[in-house]
């Protein structure tokens, strides 16, 4: 009998959790898997309609494409952060199997959300091509890097928040409460350059803004990344990831036993 390595066991466990997560989240709903891509598309249509109704235009930019690049990638980040909050509680029964570690549930949800985002992007691109939208990308590689980095940032916050929420249930309610203001203050509907100086200085402290600006600045030819601070983004990614892994390692046995 061939002994499996730790990495092989990890891949097997995450794959099984991934399939379980897909079935649990989408398999029991009436619209099933389709709802995963309909939800963000509905948001996109609503906000695009509101912007167009107010006569808002952006010179040299296709407004629906601008909104889509922000909303779809922000949804990816937000879903990672929010679904991770109850990842441990939602899979607690599986921790009786020593191969299954609590952190594996965070990884499985990461891949689920990544799959949902990819499916939504494919749907939007198909619609955009049909209606003749301008989907040209200024720097494809940098856009992909920004999305992956944004995902890692969401994963790091999700892991840290999951550990904290295990011992302090009110923490999850606080995060849910601030999610809507964060959505509106993350540069999804506007660029930092379009804001008044004071608002520009204040919103700069929101790390999510830097990721959205990085995506927009590298996607659209008429925009730039002058307000993106890559060092600031790096610290915001590394510190939560380090703290999340550190506290998880210290509390893993308590998480399993609780």
pLDDT tens profile 90-118: 888 888 888 899 999 999 999 999 988 89
**Structural domain span for residue 53:** 6-257
Above 80 in pLDDT, residue 201? yes
Q: What pLDDT is attached to residue 212?
A: 96
In a domain, 47, yes or no: yes
- Which comes out higher in pLDDT, residue 148 or 133? 148
Q: What pLDDT is attached to residue 29?
A: 59
Query: Rounded mean pLDDT of 248-254?
Result: 91
Q: What pLDDT is attached to residue 30?
A: 57
Question: What 8-state DSSP symbol labels residue 96?
Answer: G
How many Cβ atoms from other residues are within 10 Å of residue 247's Cβ? 18
Contacts of 76 (CB under 8 A, 6+ apart): 113, 114, 116, 117, 147, 150, 151, 154
In a domain, 18, yes or no: yes
In a domain, 1, yes or no: no
Residue 33: band (very low, low, confident or very high) from pLDDT cuts 50, 70, 90: low
Q: What pLDDT is attached to residue 48?
A: 76
SS3 label, residue 36: helix
| Packing angle of the helix pair 169-184, 63-83 (nearest 10 deg) | 170
How many Cβ atoms from other residues are within 10 Å of residue 160's Cβ? 22
Q: Cβ distance 226 to 193 under 8 Å?
A: yes
Alpha carbons 249 and 101: distance in angstroms, whole number: 11
Contacts of 189 (CB under 8 A, 6+ apart): 47, 51, 67, 70
Q: What pLDDT is attached to residue 240?
A: 95
In a domain, 245, yes or no: yes
Range of lowest pLDDT (8-12, 78-82, 130-134, 211-215): 130-134
Contacts of 5 (CB under 8 A, 6+ apart): none
Above 80 in pLDDT, residue 40? no
Q: Cβ distance 251 to 166 under 8 Å?
A: yes
Domains of the chain: total? 1
Above 90 in pLDDT, residue 56? no
Query: Rounded mean pLDDT of 20-39?
Result: 73
Tokens representing 133 are 């939208």
Instruction: Output the pTM of the full model.
Output: 0.91
């Amino acid at each position: 009998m061939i002994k499996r390595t730790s990495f092989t066991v990890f891949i097997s466990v995450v794959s099984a959790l991934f399939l379980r997560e897909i079935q649990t989240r989408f398999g029991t709903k009436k619209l099933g898997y389709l709802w995963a891509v309909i939800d963000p598309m509905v948001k996109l249509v609503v906000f695009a309609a509101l912007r167009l109704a107010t006569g808002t235009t952006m010179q040299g930019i296709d407004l629906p494409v601008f909104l889509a690049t922000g909303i779809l990638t922000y949804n990816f980040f937000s879903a990672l952060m929010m679904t991770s909050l109850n990842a441990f509680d939602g899979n607690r029964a599986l921790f009786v199997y020593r191969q299954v570690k609590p952190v594996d549930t965070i990884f499985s949800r990461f891949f689920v959300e990544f799959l949902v985002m990819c499916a939504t992007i494919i749907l939007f691109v198909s619609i955009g091509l049909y209606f003749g939208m301008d989907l040209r990308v200024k720097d494809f590689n940098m856009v992909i890097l920004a999305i992956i980095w944004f995902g890692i940032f969401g994963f790091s916050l999700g892991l840290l928040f999951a550990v904290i929420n295990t011992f302090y249930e009110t923490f999850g309610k606080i995060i849910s409460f601030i999610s809507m203001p964060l959505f509106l203050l993350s540069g999804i509907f506007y660029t930092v350059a379009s804001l008044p100086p004071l608002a520009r200085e204040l919103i700069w402290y929101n790390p999510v803004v830097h990721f959205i600006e990085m995506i927009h600045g590298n996607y659209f030819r008429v925009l730039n990344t002058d307000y993106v601070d890559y060092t600031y983004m790096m610290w915001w990614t590394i510190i939560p990831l380090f703290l999340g892994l550190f506290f998880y390692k210290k509390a893993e046995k308590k998480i399993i036993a609780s």
